[in-house]
Amino acid sequence: MPTYADIILPLAVPGTFTYEVPEDMVARVHPGHRVVAAFGRGRKMYSGLVLRTHGELPEGRIAKPILEVLDETPVATGEQLSLWQAIGDHYMCTLGEVMLAAMPGPLMLSSSTRLVAAPETSPAWTGNPRRDMLLDALQHRHELSLQEAGELMGVKDPMPVIKKLMETGALMLAEELKDTWTARTERYVRLSESARGEEALHHWFDALERAPKQLHLLMRYIELSRCLSDDPREVKRDTLLKRSDASAAELKRLCGKGVFVIEERPAGVPSEEAARKPAPVLSEAQAKALQAVRTAFADKPTVLLHGVTASGKTELYMELIAEVVRRGDHVLYLLPEIALTTQIIARMRARFGERVAVFHSRLSQRERTELWMRMLREPGTHPVVVGARSALFLPFGSLGLVIVDEEHDPSYKQQDPAPRYNARDMALVLAGLHGAKVLLGSATPSMESLYNARTGKYGFAPLLVRYGDAALPTIVKVDVADLQRRKRMRGNFSDTLITGIEEALARKEQVIIFQNRRGYVPAWQCETCGWVPECDHCDVSLTYHKRDHGLRCHYCGRRYTPPTSCAACGSNRLRMVGLGTEKVEEELALLLPEARVARMDQDTTRGKHGFERLLARFGEGAIDILVGTQMVTKGLDFDQVTVVGILSADNLMRFPDLRAHERAFQLMAQVAGRSGRKRDPGTVYIQGRDIHHPLIELVAQHDVEGMYARELPLRQAHGYPPFSRMVRIVLKHKNEARVQASADVLAEALRGKLGDRVLGPEPPTVARVRDKHLRVLLLKLERGHYRAEKNFLRDVIDRIFAEAPHRSVQLHVDVDPL
Ligand code: ADP
Ligand code: ZN
Ligand code: ZN
């Protein structure tokens, strides 16, 4: 009886494909192994992944044979394959799309994969004529596609050869060349063993008497490192040189004499000496919350930890992680945005050392592949993985616990491309597959999670006091409309806020200012007729960036030269309206010329280490005021920050979105939580015109329960989540009439079963992006009949969009949209 294998191909085509397994390969074809198969009219070759093997071919089908087996052992585990299927199913996308998101690129090959020789190595000749022929060819040609490589070597299937060469590091994917991110290293200065202690230092003071510059350098080091106190600090080589006016040559001489040693290691990683710090003693409140988590885990797989900002949730997580690791199980610790969480990674490394692996999208393809393979082959190496949402896809061995920190954060949701998954929700599925527990933590839990805790689906553990003696910050509401009448606004700053900042700076404390728009001003406007310049390719107004004096479209990235006159009425009276972070920074520089101001937004943190540098400077006290977009609301733990300013609360609350109030509350509460985290009390100034809005009062009272109680009945009345599951369908086409007509047909068909739970079609706020017109349909599916309704939706879409004239319309489905 022949054997067949269902294979996932790295393509956005639905379903799996059945191939025949030739007899001599049967013993090597198993789920999780990569095989080579031809697909499509061009008979292009792909490396596909075996999902399952079986003995029967559906009637009337013929199966092509598998050409080759690439792996001796699986490159994906059974749990991973199950997770992919669950994701494809829930988010209505193809298994191929999930696999493309899940697997590192270098593990997936196709005929069109482009290959290059590894840089800066002379070819490592292998003695194998075919491989050497290929390496030789790559000396002369910059890159080759896999297909060309096959033709060159005269083999039908080049993949096994390519795979070997990639494993030895001789070949890499062309796209890998572009992203060779490696951890930024930092150089630190330490006293050598023989120069430590007062006595040894005195010896050196004498010995260096005739080298005053070197002596000065040593004195500066002692001062900066406080090495004679019981609170020593690490000193960076660059800092020491800058603060001592000494030259690198002098430092080198001291190293030569055996006074100093230079240690180079990745930034944020503590030295061997500092690592493995003993665990701190939990406070009474923390210990109680931890006990509540443990008790809840006894009968629920998922627990929500509501811990106010700076309550010490991270310490609690680490306690739980240590327990699981001791048991020999593994932990996944998810964070919403890894770039912002160097602080947490450093704390994790200090406690668990090299056992912690870090995984995020800024790693190079090669680093991702290495971690993936190491987790498969040496599963004990990294019992703890800290990562952003995509870490969900790693091949975990015996997973015991998943922590989802800041579970409310929208960054857990992938927007584009498919799979449009929410890592928080899929963490529950992943844990279910492993029989692991999930801890969701947040100071501002999402409506969904609070609802699940309230209805008993999740366990619940509160931690409602800050660690130590720290109080929650005081909130001051600033009425902008009133102050404007009384001429007490200076630009966009109230004198109340300015005074607050001045006082903090006088006490040598730090300030964070939050404004949720980047750029200088959102728009230019004609004073005469109100015209606003828009992108030619998107229906959205342009944002002015002063730094390069350009107007930019935040949707497609195009840059325009600012107009000198109005395109509608010709008037040359154009003014700037609105407020972006760049302008805030400029206003502050004028209002407080002495203060050192820096800005944190997408524009200033583009480089690979943009965040790290900025945050390191803020942490060292080299910046007084940090101005930023929502990036500054997330997870920062700096004890010197006492004042936080929120410039326009109105903008946050006014979005036409069912989650606008929930999000506004979360953003304000989170940024407020950055202040007064240790001993010094914090103050938060919220500026707004609609300052008496009940939502702001809830922020002022730190009242999560109140927000929930206010919001829930509204959600229920409109049948929004958590009382339903939403599906958002976006249709796109160059021709507006076409997209409208297709959207109407789809809506009509769906109303047949769903009735008024179909909203739209409507043009979204930005109705044209990159020359394509958009229409949006929103569906509210009933929780109880969710599966059946989704199947109905799938059938309707397949039926309508299989044929002209609808076929040319692009459509994407977003399940549980944000
Ligand atoms: P959260 O994650 O809830 O915002 P963190 O875990 O960052 O809070 O804790 C806030 C600060 O308090 C951190 O600087 C942390 O090191 C400190 N901290 C928390 N718990 C303890 C403890 N038990 N012992 C010593 N320091 C602690
Ligand atoms: Zn005009
Ligand atoms: Zn545009």
Q: Which atom of ligand 1 lies at the shortest distance from residue 317's CA?
A: 6
Overall average pLDDT of the 80-88 stretch: 96
Query: Is the CB of 464 inside a 6 Å radius of any atom of ligand 1?
Result: no
Overall average pLDDT of the 662-682 stretch: 85
Q: How many residues does the chain have?
A: 818
Q: Which atom of ligand 1 lies at the shortest distance from residue 443's CA?
A: 3
Query: Is the CB of 677 inside a 6 Å radius of any atom of ligand 1?
Result: yes
Name the pTM for this structure. 0.82
Q: Which atom of ligand 1 lies at the shortest distance from residue 344's CA?
A: 7
Residues of the chain above pLDDT 90, percent: 43
Query: Is the CB of 773 inside a 6 Å radius of any atom of ligand 1?
Result: no
Confidence (pLDDT) at 274? 54
- CA dist., res. 305 & res. 308, Å (int): 10
The protein residue whose alpha carbon is closest to atom 15 in ligand 1 is 312
Q: Categorize the per-residue pLDDT at 469 as very low, low, confident or very high, splitting at 50, 70 and 90.
A: confident
687 vs 170, residue with greater confidence: 687
Q: At what angle do helices 610-619 and 342-352 cross, to 10 degrees?
A: 80
Nearest ligand, CA of residue 552?
3
Instruction: Mention every residue, 6+ apart, whose C-beta is less than 8 A from residue 424.
Output: 334, 404, 407, 412, 440
Ligand 3 centroid to residue 733 C-alpha, Å: 16
- CA dist., res. 480 & res. 492, Å (int): 9
Contact 20, 2 (CB under 8 A): yes
Q: Which helix (H) or strand (E) holds 644?
A: strand 641-646
Overall average pLDDT of the 25-41 stretch: 88
Confidence (pLDDT) at 181? 40
608 pLDDT higher than 70 = no
Instruction: Mention every residue, 6+ apart, whose C-beta is less than 8 A from residue 69.
Output: 25, 28, 29, 33, 34, 35, 36
Q: For residue 572, what are its two tokens? A: 């040359």
Query: Per residue, what are the HEC states of 477-495?
Result: EEEHHHHHHCCCEECCEEH
195 vs 606, residue with greater confidence: 195
Ligand 2 centroid to residue 535 C-alpha, Å: 17
CA of residue 768 relative to chain centroid, distance: 27
Ligand 3 centroid to residue 818 C-alpha, Å: 22
Query: Is the CB of 285 inside a 6 Å radius of any atom of ligand 1?
Result: no
Ligand 2 centroid to residue 553 C-alpha, Å: 20
Confidence (pLDDT) at 142? 74
Confidence (pLDDT) at 341? 72
Residue the block writes with tokens 């000749």: 125
Nearest ligand, CA of residue 312?
1
Contact 192, 259 (CB under 8 A): yes
Dihedral Cα 714, 789, 79, 45, nearest 10 deg: -120
Ligand 2 centroid to residue 708 C-alpha, Å: 45
**E strand intervals along 322-448:** 330-334, 356-359, 384-387, 399-405, 437-442
The protein residue whose alpha carbon is closest to atom 21 in ligand 1 is 312
Per the prediction, the chain carries an average pLDDT of 87
- CA dist., res. 110 & res. 444, Å (int): 45
Ligand 1 centroid to residue 464 C-alpha, Å: 13
249-263 per-position pLDDT tens digit: 889 999 998 899 888
Residues of the chain above pLDDT 70, percent: 94
Cis, bond preceding 805 (omega within 30 deg of 0): yes
Dihedral Cα 207, 212, 213, 217, nearest 10 deg: 60
Nearest ligand, CA of residue 533?
2
CA of residue 9 relative to chain centroid, distance: 27
Q: Categorize the per-residue pLDDT at 120 as very low, low, confident or very high, splitting at 50, 70 and 90.
A: low
Q: Categorize the per-residue pLDDT at 299 as very low, low, confident or very high, splitting at 50, 70 and 90.
A: very high
363 vs 473, residue with greater confidence: 473
Q: Which of the listed residues 306, 314, 406 should we mutate to test ligand 1's pocket, taking the one with most ligand atoms within 8 A of CB? A: 314
356 pLDDT higher than 50 = yes
Query: Is the CB of 309 inside a 6 Å radius of any atom of ligand 1?
Result: yes
Contact 11, 56 (CB under 8 A): no
Ligand 2 centroid to residue 576 C-alpha, Å: 13
Confidence (pLDDT) at 568? 86
604 pLDDT higher than 50 = yes
Of the CA atoms within 13 Å of residue 531, those in its CB half-sphere come to 17
Q: Which atom of ligand 1 lies at the shortest distance from residue 315's CA?
A: 6
Ligand 1 centroid to residue 315 C-alpha, Å: 6
Nearest ligand, CA of residue 347?
1
Query: Is the CB of 314 inside a 6 Å radius of any atom of ligand 1?
Result: yes
Contact 323, 392 (CB under 8 A): no
Instruction: Mention every residue, 6+ apart, whose C-beta is less than 8 A from residue 180.
Output: 364, 366
818 pLDDT higher than 90 = no
Ligand 1 centroid to residue 312 C-alpha, Å: 4
Confidence (pLDDT) at 97? 93
Ligand 2 centroid to residue 522 C-alpha, Å: 17
Lowest mean pLDDT segment, chosen from 22-36, 226-240, 769-783, 795-809: 226-240
Q: Which helix (H) or strand (E) holds 190?
A: strand 185-191
Query: Is the CB of 477 inside a 6 Å radius of any atom of ligand 1?
Result: no
Query: Is the CB of 580 inside a 6 Å radius of any atom of ligand 1?
Result: no
Phi, psi (degrees; rounded to nearest 5) at 711: -85, -35
Confidence (pLDDT) at 811? 93
- CA dist., res. 541 & res. 562, Å (int): 12
List helix spans (H) across 106-182: 129-140, 146-153, 159-167, 174-178
Q: Which atom of ligand 1 lies at the shortest distance from residue 281's CA?
A: 23
Confidence (pLDDT) at 179? 45
Instruction: Mention every residue, 6+ apart, whose C-beta is less than 8 A from residue 508.
Output: 640
Confidence (pLDDT) at 269? 52
Query: Is the CB of 315 inside a 6 Å radius of any atom of ligand 1?
Result: yes
Lowest mean pLDDT segment, chosen from 303-312, 648-657, 804-813: 648-657
Q: Which atom of ligand 1 lies at the shortest distance from residue 283's CA?
A: 23
Q: Categorize the per-residue pLDDT at 159 as very low, low, confident or very high, splitting at 50, 70 and 90.
A: confident
Query: Is the CB of 425 inside a 6 Å radius of any atom of ligand 1?
Result: no
Confidence (pLDDT) at 183? 47
Query: In b/e form, how buried is each residue of 674-704, taking b as 16+ CB within 10 angstroms?
Result: bbbbbeeebbbbbbbeebebebbebbbebeb
DSSP annotation of 283 reads P
Residue the block writes with tokens 């071919």: 57
The protein residue whose alpha carbon is closest to atom 14 in ligand 1 is 637
Instruction: Mention every residue, 6+ apart, whose C-beta is less than 8 A from residue 505.
Output: 511, 592, 594, 595, 624, 625
Contact 556, 612 (CB under 8 A): no
Q: 585: exposed, middle or buried (C-beta count within 10 Å: 0-12, 13-18, 19+)?
A: buried
Three-state secondary structure call for residue 16: coil
Ligand 1 centroid to residue 280 C-alpha, Å: 9
Q: Categorize the per-residue pLDDT at 350 as very low, low, confident or very high, splitting at 50, 70 and 90.
A: confident
679 vs 60, residue with greater confidence: 60
- CA dist., res. 736 & res. 389, Å (int): 35
DSSP annotation of 412 reads G
Ligand 3 centroid to residue 772 C-alpha, Å: 11
Q: What angle do CA 23, 27, 28 make, to 5 degrees?
A: 105
- CA dist., res. 694 & res. 476, Å (int): 14
Confidence (pLDDT) at 520? 63
Query: Is the CB of 313 inside a 6 Å radius of any atom of ligand 1?
Result: yes
Q: How many CB atoms lie within 10 A of CB 417?
A: 12
The protein residue whose alpha carbon is closest to atom 20 in ligand 1 is 312
415-451 per-position pLDDT tens digit: 889 899 999 999 999 999 999 999 999 999 999 999 9
Query: Is the CB of 280 inside a 6 Å radius of any atom of ligand 1?
Result: yes
Contact 92, 14 (CB under 8 A): no
User: What letter represents residue 271's amino acid?
Assistant: S
User: What letter represents residue 255's amino acid?
Assistant: C
Q: State which of 222-226, 274-278, 412-416 shows the largest mean pLDDT.
A: 412-416
528-580 per-position pLDDT tens digit: 888 888 888 887 788 888 778 888 887 778 889 888 888 889 888 888 777 78
- CA dist., res. 676 & res. 667, Å (int): 17
Q: What Rg value do the Cα atoms of the chain yield, rounded?
A: 30
Of the candidates 389, 357, 398, the residue with the CA atom closest to the CA atom of residue 102: 389
169 vs 776, residue with greater confidence: 776
Overall average pLDDT of the 45-59 stretch: 87
162-193 per-position pLDDT tens digit: 888 877 777 777 766 554 444 456 788 888 88
Ramachandran class of 275: left when φ > 0, alpha when ψ lies in -120 to 50, beta otherwise: beta
- CA dist., res. 738 & res. 744, Å (int): 10
Phi, psi (degrees; rounded to nearest 5) at 493: -110, 135
Confidence (pLDDT) at 318? 94
Strands 330-334 and 399-405: parallel
Q: For the chain, how long is the longest CA-to-CA vector?
A: 94
Q: State which of 539-553, 672-686, 719-733 shows the largest mean pLDDT.
A: 719-733
Q: Which atom of ligand 1 lies at the shortest distance from residue 347's CA?
A: 16
Q: Which of the listed residues 637, 679, 680, 702 should we mutate to test ligand 1's pocket, taking the one with most ligand atoms within 8 A of CB? A: 637
Q: For residue 533, what are its two tokens? A: 């310049």
Q: Categorize the per-residue pLDDT at 522 as very low, low, confident or very high, splitting at 50, 70 and 90.
A: low
Q: Categorize the per-residue pLDDT at 337 as very low, low, confident or very high, splitting at 50, 70 and 90.
A: confident
413 pLDDT higher than 80 = yes
650 pLDDT higher than 90 = no
Phi, psi (degrees; rounded to nearest 5) at 776: -125, 135
Ligand 2 centroid to residue 571 C-alpha, Å: 5
Q: For residue 547, what are its two tokens? A: 């730094």
The helix, strand and coil proportions of the chain, stated in percent and rounded to the nearest 5, come to 40, 20, 40
Dihedral Cα 541, 545, 548, 550, nearest 10 deg: 20
Query: Per residue, what are the HEC states of 58-92?
Result: CCCCCCCECCEECCCCCCCCHHHHHHHHHHHHHCC
Nearest ligand, CA of residue 524?
2
Query: Is the CB of 287 inside a 6 Å radius of any atom of ligand 1?
Result: no
